Structure 1
Amino acid sequence: MSNYSEIAKQGLWYNNPGLVQLLGLCPLLAVTATITNALGLGIATLVVLVGSNILVSLVRNYVPKEIRIPVFVMIIAALVTCVQLLVNAYAYGLYLSLGIFLPLIVTNCVIIGRAEAFASRNNVLRSTFDGLMMGLGFTIVLVILGAGREILGQGTLFAGADLLLGDWASALTVHVWQVDTPFLIAMLPPGAFIGMGLLIALKNIIDSSIKARQPKPQVESIARARITKVG
């Protein structure tokens, strides 16, 4: 269980794909103007990440090392095609909103990176859990960034939720404040860069605070005690 706990900590915080590895930034910055877009892309990426980790782990002992990367890319491309067709069939509005960034999940470095670094070296259960945690970590960053940009840009939350969940979800839209003119810098790429920088800075501050609160290693105390005795 401690091993799985470490995998969870790595995916959600210490090795988060968006905040630490800085992978998949192109879709992360491009489609997070609203929570709906961010959540839609996050779920799609999560499904592909878990599926690719499972399949790569299953075939890892049967694929020659010389062609492993092309095989991994083919697996990812097949999964992305399936997800794209499902989104097109059941959430067409979201499909149009995400545009080219949905098929571009194939080139997301998070997915190919986990397939090569983890799934190709571990069993199915661990690979599945790793894909789930990395996907959740990436989705959480997408949603937080999307929430901040949507509130600042147009004063709402969950605008366009019906694109993802159906017509009934239009009632989920929350009007935080009335915006006469949209705050464009929050809705455009510069706002995404600023928001991402603030999230990374906040994580670094939290990490520094946690590190400062940790007790000093016993080695230092033993060394000081020896110095005191010698003196």
Structure 2
Amino acid sequence: MTDTTQKTSWSDYSKIARNGLWDNNQALVAMLGLCPLLAVTNNTVNGLGLGLATMVVMVISNVLVSLIRNHVSPEIRIPIFIAIIASAVTIIDMMMNAYLHTLHGILGIFIPLIVTNCTILGRAEAYASKNPVDKSFIDGLFMGLGFTAVLVVLGAMREIIGNGTLFDQMNLMFGDAAKGLTLYMPSDFHPMLLAILPPGAFIGLGLLVALKNAIEQRRLAKKTNALGIQVAINQS
């Protein structure tokens, strides 16, 4: 009985993780949180910094909402959820200002604006308010990781094409030891300014969405073909 329960739990966790990272990635599927996603991803470190901040807020809010879900009446749940999210954002904002001051200055208003990210409130309302703490924690973690991954990939794409570098200014997060992480494109590479301008953000995101859709369609086609072959074998 215990083994079955454990296997079921791990299966549930795996499904939640895949949902956050790929199947229901809020940036690529629901198209939520686009304002910070498009505004700060002109390089990798900005996307990583804001993505991790968003992930931590999502984990904290999901856990707290799950803990109080049976003690809050439906009429006031949304204001309470927003208050929880705002409190978590304030803590993260103050910590980044204290320990990552330069990066905090670069990200600017987009850190407080995490409060308005529909993804966080949406997961609190749709998932954390209806599920136990462990599953809510995993949901917040992997939804946050999925969002962070899109920020980082988009930032890396724009940085390479627009600046001819990769992992530049990583010392803003990881200290002076990270200065050597910067990679430079060959000397004959010519950066394209459009990539780090606002239109480049829309084009880059569109390419990522198109890539995800193409992968999903290809996987669905393979699954359909395999099912058709299996049916033909059974009929024969």
TM-score by length of 2: 0.90
Q: Percent same amino acid among aligned pairs?
A: 57
Q: Give the AA of the match of 2:137.
A: T
Q: Give the AA of the match of 1:87.
A: M
The 8 Å contact of residues 154 and 179 in structure 1, kept in 2 or not, is answered as no
Aligned to 1:99: 108
Task: Tell me the alpha carbon deviations over residues 186-222 of structure 1, each in whole angstroms, 9 at most, x when there is no partner.
Answer: 0011000000000000011100111111122699769
Q: CA RMSD in A?
A: 2.0
Task: Tell me the alpha carbon deviations over residues 161-209 of structure 1, each in whole angstroms, 9 at most, x when there is no partner.
Answer: 1111122222211112348975221001100000000000001110011
Q: Give the AA of the match of 2:227.
A: K
User: Would the alpha carbon gap of residues 216 and 183 (structure 1) be closer, same or farther in structure 2, given more than 3 Å must change?
Assistant: same
Post-superposition, which runs of at least 4 consecutive aligned residues in structure 1 deviate over 6 A? 217-220
Count of residue correspondences:
225
Structure 1 CA distance for aligned equivalents of residues 87 and 186 of structure 2: 43
Q: Give the AA of the match of 1:65.
A: P
Structure 1 CA distance for aligned equivalents of residues 147 and 165 of structure 2: 22
Aligned to 2:136: 127
Aligned to 2:207: 198
User: Would the alpha carbon gap of residues 50 and 180 (structure 1) be closer, same or farther in structure 2, given more than 3 Å must change?
Assistant: same
Structure 2 CA distance for aligned equivalents of residues 113 and 127 of structure 1: 12
Within a 5 Å distance, the mapping from 1:1-231 to structure 2 comes to 1-178=10-187, 182-214=191-223, 215-216=226-227
User: Would the alpha carbon gap of residues 179 and 86 (structure 1) be closer, same or farther in structure 2, given more than 3 Å must change?
Assistant: farther
Where does structure 1 lack aligned partners over 5 or more consecutive residues?
none
Where does structure 2 lack aligned partners over 5 or more consecutive residues?
1-9
The 8 Å contact of residues 155 and 179 in structure 1, kept in 2 or not, is answered as no
